[in-house]
A and B are shown apart, each in its own frame.
Chain A
Amino acid sequence: MSALGRAGLLGSVRKRVSDFRPGHDAPTSPDDRLMADLRTALAPERVQFDSAGRSLHSKDASVFKGGVAGPTCFPITTAEVQAISRIAAEHGRAMVPRGAGTGLAGGAIPLGAPVVVALTKMNNILEVDVDNRIAWVEPGVINLDLTRHLTPLGYHFAPDPSSQQVCTIGGNVANNSGGPHCLAYGVTNAHVQAMEVVLPDGQVAMLGGLDPEPAGLDLRGVFVGSEGTLGICTKVAVRITRNRPAVKTLLLSFKTISDAANTVSGIIASGIVPAALEVMDQKITVAVENYVHAGYPRDAGAVLLAEVDGLAAGVAVDAAGIAAIGRANGALEIREAATEEERALLWKGRKTAFGAIAQIAPDYYLHDTVVPRSELANVLAKVYEIADRFDLLVMNVFHAGDGNLHPLLLFDARDEGVLDRVHAAGKEIVEASLDAGGVLSGEHGIGVEKQAYMGRMFSDNDLDHQDRLRKAFDPTCRANPGKVIPMGHSCADIQALRRVPTGVWG
């Protein structure tokens, strides 16, 4: 084939991809007809379009300003999600799935008045199948409710994001959520075996399977973490993990955050894979201690919360190993939680860290990047320097074991111009992480937050292929358009969002 032929081929690929895109003249219809159609498919009270609901559903838990929500539907069955999908398509509307709205990257923010599909009423634990070590759950089941349900059976759901008291399994699937204990057990993707999804064209498909090597491409793996852009998950088979008979939680305090970071690297290098390795700097430790009174030292430069679990004898060996590595790195104090109550209190401190800061400043922006463990100390030094330069208060509490940083910028949004400084500092933090060999996000996702940075991590070819993946599921850009892939790349095109009936933007 000649060079010209190749160009022709490329052109034809683009055409084939773009053929599926909705045109500018796609039919639209006023909201009342859309509402009427939706209310034939669902009980009328489960289709809402009041201003309070639209306002609530226009944003998530991030600092990003809201979008514009169309009608919000609260389906209770897969068939209803399917019906919503078909009606939305007939009306030329996109769909945005929504769980508890705890996302921090703007993934659930509706762009272009899509139909919001709130899955919170699909919240049944359908089956616990111990033979296959899975549980079938609906997407609206709350993460911690599932673990509570499994506890008497001797199992739990391993991903445990800090928001686990409110966040949903469907949201965990959409974001490929992590949490402190994914160091040893892996993030959500390692815990989803199969799922039923309603594809953007309204068809229902089962992705993955309960067998170890399901036939075909790993579409299940691709769907997890896709932020609602490949369809809507309506039923999930999550792996259930045996509870460990023994657990030890150690609190190590250090003079500097570098000492804590070096201890973390030393532990991993020694071949110990703890269940969790969490670091908090002094400012957040003081805030947490004031909030929960867990016995965290206020005078240490940093604390490391290390947890090992498994069988009693091996846990004792690993705990002793961690203590020795801590001592070698200048630990000021090493304390082992003596009781389950003490252990629970330490974890409560860690998991409510973001609530504890409310006493310091009314607003915060929680960042999420990952760096190689060996770069933790260097990148943290840069984070402090950046915050200092922008005259912002920063606290660090993070999943140190896998290099997942969570710099927390504190501010009062009423201060004039502060948001500009927050965003400028955030940009530099992201860039410092990438320059250190890191990645854009460890567990919050891209959403709208980090679209603009995707080009710093991926080439145009990379992004083009991500877009092809997306189009294979959603050829007409109906599923949560305007997310993940940066503007200018097809499904992110605002053109899909432009076709909004007059008056909806109001």
Chain B
Amino acid sequence: MIASGVAGRRITDEVAQFATLVGSDDPVAVEGNRTRWDAGGPATGSPRIVKAPAGVVQYQPDEMTVKVLAGTTVAELDRALAGEGQRTALPQRGGTVGGALAVGENHPHTLAVGALRTAVLKVTYVSADGKIVSGGGATVKNVSGFDIPRLIVGSLGTLGCIAEVILRTNPIPAVSRWFHTLADPFAIYNELLAPAAVFWDGSATWLLLEGHEVDVDHQASVAAGIGELTPVDGPPDEPGLHRWSLPPGELQATMTKLEGPALASIGVGTIWATEPQPERPLSPAVEAIHDRMKTFFDPDRRLNPGRHPGRR
């Protein structure tokens, strides 16, 4: 542990070693478990591959926070939290905490666990010039200074290499149940107060209900009033490699246009499909901010070269 002079700040040995590893000279790419290795474009320019340190540093269930090193797998984090009946908004899918945050994809059950971007309370990363930088704070509520955690989530490691984060945790509900139905998924979504997930493949619907058993039973009876419900173990596998992001109001029209199999997350706007979503170009004004952000954070473009936030 190294004290840094800032109140309460301790830099762990693992983070200090990661800063040395990232260094400040040559191109580097951070490797997690390579579950989304090509997100934002393939790595270019033969960068040196580095891995972030792993391990749960400090878990405080009664604060609903966990400090974890970026190389920890989400599965390992989930196991640690499940012991205290908690979870986070990070998607599992086999990757690391740092990888999940760098890519920025939400958990499939976003309605229940919240958006990924709201999960990070504090981030510590290694900058392009090899320095240890932190943003955000350890508490569940904080508006102190510019929101560096928001900037880093989804930035594909292009602004800094994530070393350690403090994440918000949430209680795992008492009961989680999946149902299958042929009822209209939009009617179900609109009728229920808080479904945990409503998936639709264009004809069939899978519904996840969570909460107190009494509430789950009640919501199931409301849904059953719209169409017959059958308890199932879970939803079908995601039908394709591609992930679409749409306003929830456009899901129905888009699903009718897709040719291959697809699964839509009602009320969220995600579609998993076999065909890619058309590029969503950034406006010139937003592109200019991206360019300046990159120039100011990584002037030599040595961090994760080839990756571009916003490209599929």
B138–A439 contact, CB under 8 A? yes
A224–B147 contact, CB under 8 A? yes
B132–A466 contact, CB under 8 A? no
C-beta contact mask, B74-117 vs A, less than 8 Å → 1, else 0?
Answer: 00000000000110000000000000000011100010001101
A466 contact from B60, B148, B284, Cβ within 8 A: B148
C-beta contact mask, A198-211 vs B, less than 8 Å → 1, else 0?
Answer: 01000111110111
Complex CA gap A481/B246 in Å reads: 36
A205–B286 contact, CB under 8 A? yes
B248–A216 contact, CB under 8 A? no
A-B contact count (CB 8 A): 281
B141–A404 contact, CB under 8 A? yes
The answer to whether the Cβ of A273 comes within 8 Å of any Cβ in the partner chain is yes
Residues of B within 8 A of A443 (CB): 141, 143
A314 contact from B85, B115, B151, B212, Cβ within 8 A: B212
B280–A215 contact, CB under 8 A? yes
Complex CA gap A273/B8 in Å reads: 28
The answer to whether the Cβ of B134 comes within 8 Å of any Cβ in the partner chain is yes
The answer to whether the Cβ of B127 comes within 8 Å of any Cβ in the partner chain is yes
Decide: A176 near B62, CB < 8 A? Known: A271-B171, A310-B193, A317-B214: no
Residues of A within 8 A of B289 (CB): 199, 205, 217, 219, 472-473
The answer to whether the Cβ of B211 comes within 8 Å of any Cβ in the partner chain is yes
A439–B139 contact, CB under 8 A? yes
CB of B23, distance to nearest CB on chain A (Å): 10
A218–B150 contact, CB under 8 A? yes
A442 contact from B7, B114, B141, B297, Cβ within 8 A: B141
B292 contact from A450, A463, A472, A485, Cβ within 8 A: A472
The answer to whether the Cβ of A330 comes within 8 Å of any Cβ in the partner chain is no
A459 contact from B6, B117, B146, B148, Cβ within 8 A: B6
A457–B269 contact, CB under 8 A? no
CB of B76, distance to nearest CB on chain A (Å): 22
Residues A422-473 near B (CB distance < 8 A): 431, 434-435, 437-446, 450, 454-459, 461-466, 468-473
A441–B143 contact, CB under 8 A? yes
B139–A222 contact, CB under 8 A? no
The answer to whether the Cβ of B203 comes within 8 Å of any Cβ in the partner chain is no
Residue of A nearest to B215 (CB): A314
A218–B171 contact, CB under 8 A? no
Residue of A nearest to B61 (CB): A269
Residue of B nearest to A403 (CB): B139
Residue of A nearest to B159 (CB): A217
Decide: A468 near B297, CB < 8 A? Known: A218-B153, A219-B286, A311-B218: yes
Decide: A216 near B134, CB < 8 A? Known: A209-B247, A221-B147, A311-B215: no
Residue of B nearest to A318 (CB): B212
Complex CA gap A213/B193 in Å reads: 23
Residues of A within 8 A of B160 (CB): 465
B127–A465 contact, CB under 8 A? yes
B118 contact from A189, A215, A244, A310, Cβ within 8 A: A189
The answer to whether the Cβ of B16 comes within 8 Å of any Cβ in the partner chain is no
Query: Chain B interface: which of A340-348, A350-358, A370-378?
Result: A370-378
Decide: A445 near B143, CB < 8 A? Known: A211-B247, A313-B215: yes
Decide: A399 near B141, CB < 8 A? Known: A317-B214, A469-B146: yes
Residues B133-175 near A (CB distance < 8 A): 133-135, 137-148, 150-151, 153-155, 160, 170-172
CB of A80, distance to nearest CB on chain B (Å): 18
Decide: A226 near B285, CB < 8 A? Known: A268-B62, A437-B138, A462-B133: no
The answer to whether the Cβ of B4 comes within 8 Å of any Cβ in the partner chain is yes
Decide: A210 near B141, CB < 8 A? Known: A215-B280, A373-B63: no
The answer to whether the Cβ of A148 comes within 8 Å of any Cβ in the partner chain is no
Complex CA gap A132/B246 in Å reads: 10
Complex CA gap A269/B63 in Å reads: 8
Residue total for A at the interface (Cβ-Cβ under 8 A): 101
Residues of A within 8 A of B139 (CB): 370-372, 402-403, 437-439, 442
Residues of A within 8 A of B300 (CB): 9
Residues of B within 8 A of A421 (CB): none
A10–B129 contact, CB under 8 A? yes
Residues of B within 8 A of A480 (CB): none
C-beta contact mask, B12-25 vs A, less than 8 Å → 1, else 0?
Answer: 00000000000011
The answer to whether the Cβ of B51 comes within 8 Å of any Cβ in the partner chain is no
Complex CA gap A154/B247 in Å reads: 21
The answer to whether the Cβ of B299 comes within 8 Å of any Cβ in the partner chain is yes
Complex CA gap A470/B148 in Å reads: 10
CB of A298, distance to nearest CB on chain B (Å): 30
Residue total for B at the interface (Cβ-Cβ under 8 A): 89
Complex CA gap A487/B147 in Å reads: 19
A402–B290 contact, CB under 8 A? no
Complex CA gap A207/B287 in Å reads: 11
B296–A472 contact, CB under 8 A? yes
Complex CA gap A463/B134 in Å reads: 9
Residues of A within 8 A of B8 (CB): 434-435, 437
B193–A442 contact, CB under 8 A? no
The answer to whether the Cβ of A242 comes within 8 Å of any Cβ in the partner chain is yes
A212–B110 contact, CB under 8 A? yes
B299–A212 contact, CB under 8 A? no
Residue of A nearest to B222 (CB): A311
A190–B114 contact, CB under 8 A? yes
Residues A368-393 near B (CB distance < 8 A): 370-374
Complex CA gap A412/B311 in Å reads: 58
A217–B218 contact, CB under 8 A? no
Decide: A372 near B138, CB < 8 A? Known: A212-B270, A314-B215: yes
A370–B147 contact, CB under 8 A? no
B143–A273 contact, CB under 8 A? no
The answer to whether the Cβ of A297 comes within 8 Å of any Cβ in the partner chain is no
B290–A212 contact, CB under 8 A? no
Residue with the greatest number of chain A CB neighbours at <10 A, chosen from B139, B153, B267, B311: B139
The answer to whether the Cβ of A165 comes within 8 Å of any Cβ in the partner chain is no
Residues A208-239 near B (CB distance < 8 A): 209-219, 221-222, 224-226
The answer to whether the Cβ of A65 comes within 8 Å of any Cβ in the partner chain is no
Residues of B within 8 A of A204 (CB): 285
B85–A271 contact, CB under 8 A? yes
B117–A218 contact, CB under 8 A? yes
B145 contact from A131, A442, A484, Cβ within 8 A: A484
Residues of A within 8 A of B56 (CB): none
A456–B141 contact, CB under 8 A? no
Complex CA gap A6/B131 in Å reads: 12
The answer to whether the Cβ of B204 comes within 8 Å of any Cβ in the partner chain is no
A456 contact from B7, B64, B133, B140, Cβ within 8 A: B7
B193–A402 contact, CB under 8 A? no
Query: Chain B interface: which of A11-19, A53-61, A498-506?
Result: A11-19
A132–B247 contact, CB under 8 A? yes
A268–B64 contact, CB under 8 A? yes
Residues of A within 8 A of B144 (CB): 439-441, 446, 450, 454, 457
Further contacts, 5 of them, CB under 8 A, given A314-B211, A469-B296: A187-B141, A268-B64, A314-B214, A374-B60, A485-B146
- CB pairs A–B below 8 angstroms (10 shown): A1-B24, A175-B143, A213-B154, A217-B290, A221-B151, A439-B139, A456-B6, A462-B145, A465-B133, A485-B146
